[in-house]
Amino acid sequence: MPGVPSPRMFALIALAVALLAPVCARAGQTWLIVSDIHMNPYDASQRPSPPGSDSNVALLRSMLAEMKRTVPAPAVVLIPGDFLAHFFPKLVGLHDAGSAPSGAALQVMRTIERGFEQAYPKAQFAIVLGNNDDPCGDYRSPIDGSYLKELVNIWAPLVNRNGAAPGFAASFARGGYYEASLPVRGMRLIALNSVYFSREYLGDCKGRQPEAAPREIAWLRATLASTPAGTKNVLLMHIPPGYDAFVTETARGVVAWPYYDPQPGAGLLDAIASSADRIAFGVAGHEHRFDFRLIPGKPVVPILVFGALSPIYGNNPTYATADITPAGEVGDITFYAFDESRAAWMPGRSFSAALKTGAATIGADALAAVHRGLERTPAMRPDWDALSIAWPAPNAQARYLWGAGWLVPWCAQTELSSGYAACAKIGNPMAWLRVAVTAFPAILLAIALVIILRRRRARS
């Protein structure tokens, strides 16, 4: 009959489907990562934020447009925290004294959420809170607060898209952490509120909440223990474990500055190490530079630390993509950076090509090889430094870490506890701080005596 496929045609169609099916099954995914947006809603400049300032609306819009052009259909969008500008409550007081910081903060969150939703109406999203994401101030993060419930209302449509995170509303409102499925077979996401672990954590608006960190770590242990057979977890957090190389380097190596308070820090590392075989990798932000951490375990767990959109700390604004293999590994990372001198986005640059790793994936072994290379090959450090801050054009704000004091950032990649100070040749990490605290009253007394003696001499 005319118009009816012949048996030969049916056979050809069946063969094509059989050949194409494995190809589709083997196809990888593109994930998009944007960290440390730090949006200042009161900066009305039409030019994207210059170095030394937080992101303005112009920079956010520029990034969203460029992302849509370069990454039109990511499967997953990860946002590892710090949506609000630094010193956000003070900004509200300066520019809109009649408004409550909580209302202004929620408006910023809505602006960011709408921008991403319009750019990616089909992608699955995962977010976590950073240390600048509470309207009460830096390193504030409540438990069971109304603010968290408001954030649930804003982000639930994206995070629970297609039913990926059915427990998001209840869990996030309780503490800012939750679990979600991922669109890769055998992968699950665990989102953490790492602000609770910070040595600088100040609690909620009323004061400290010492139960926050132990409660979350207990939840993490239980969640990792419940990992289904054949499933690997991806950890998403804002503050990575270990030491802050940027602050330590700023202090000229006098004090080694840990990110976490000792007890929750040790608890997190132990929880990860105890379930290392159930974790694929982690994603973090906070440093405003690309870096990594290798958490000891069997196997070693890599934490990828991504740079910032905000150019406040001498880095170019940046976002990145990760090529995820069907096996749930990171095949490569591509960085997209905004050139401040030309006010234009640069073409994407590949991690593997920039470092000539030759590795099939960017896992613990490849990162360990990079770490060894940075130790043995001094010529490799400037390239890593440039990659870390997203290849900025020369400007007075550019801040490099891998010069003469390269041990400070290098040791931070693998020394996540007490061994860091010795590795970085700092000595006792808190000795100078204790000396300063002890000597401070004596110094003040000496200054007061000098002032009194000078006044007496002036009168005589």
355: pLDDT strictly greater than 50: yes
Identify the pLDDT of residue 23: 37
Percent of the chain clearing pLDDT 70 (strictly above): 86
Q: Which amino acid is at 350?
A: S
60/37 Cα distance (integer angstroms): 8
pLDDT score of 447: 75
Q: Are 109 and 151 in contact (CB under 8 A)?
A: yes
Phi first, then psi: what are they for 295, rounded to 5°?
-90, 120
Res. 41 pLDDT band, cuts 50 70 90: very high
Over residues 110-167, the pLDDT tens digits come to: 999 999 999 999 999 999 999 999 999 999 999 988 999 999 999 999 999 999 999 9
Q: What is the pLDDT of residues 234-286, one digit of tens each?
A: 999 999 999 999 999 988 778 999 999 999 999 999 999 999 999 999 999 99
| pLDDT band at 2; cut points 50, 70, 90 | very low
Work out the pLDDT band at 94, boundaries 50, 70, 90. very high
**Cα–Cα distance for residue pair 121/413, rounded to 1 Å:** 36
Are residues 249 and 291 in contact, defined by beta-carbon separation less than 8 angstroms?
A: no
pLDDT band at 356 (very low <50, low <70, confident <90, very high): confident
Mean pLDDT across the chain: 90
The confidence score (pLDDT) of residue 253 equals: 77
Q: Which single residue is written with the structure tokens 């005596």?
A: 449
pLDDT at 4: 46
β-pairing verdict for 291-295 and 232-236: unpaired
Q: What is the pLDDT of residue 452?
A: 62
Nearest to 409 by CA among 397, 394, 417, 420: 420
Residue 381's pLDDT band (cuts 50, 70, 90): very high
The mean pLDDT of 6-11, rounded to a whole number, is: 48
Which CB contacts under 8 angstroms, 24+ apart, belong to 105-109?
105/133, 105/134, 105/135, 105/147, 106/147, 106/150, 106/151, 106/154, 107/41, 108/39, 108/41, 108/83, 108/84, 109/83, 109/151, 109/154, 109/155
427 CA to centre of own chain: 29
* Average pLDDT, integer, range 60-74: 98
pLDDT at 250: 87
430: pLDDT strictly greater than 80: no
Confidence of residue 340 (pLDDT cuts 50, 70, 90): confident
448 pLDDT more than 70 = no
pLDDT number for residue 20: 41
Rounded distance between C-alpha atoms, residue 131 and residue 286, angstroms:
8
User: 433 or 323: whose pLDDT is higher?
Assistant: 323
Structural contact between residues 368 and 376, judged by C-beta atoms closer than 8 angstroms: no
Q: Report the predicted TM-score, pTM, of the whole model to 2 decimal places.
A: 0.88
**At residue 434, does pLDDT exceed 60?**
no
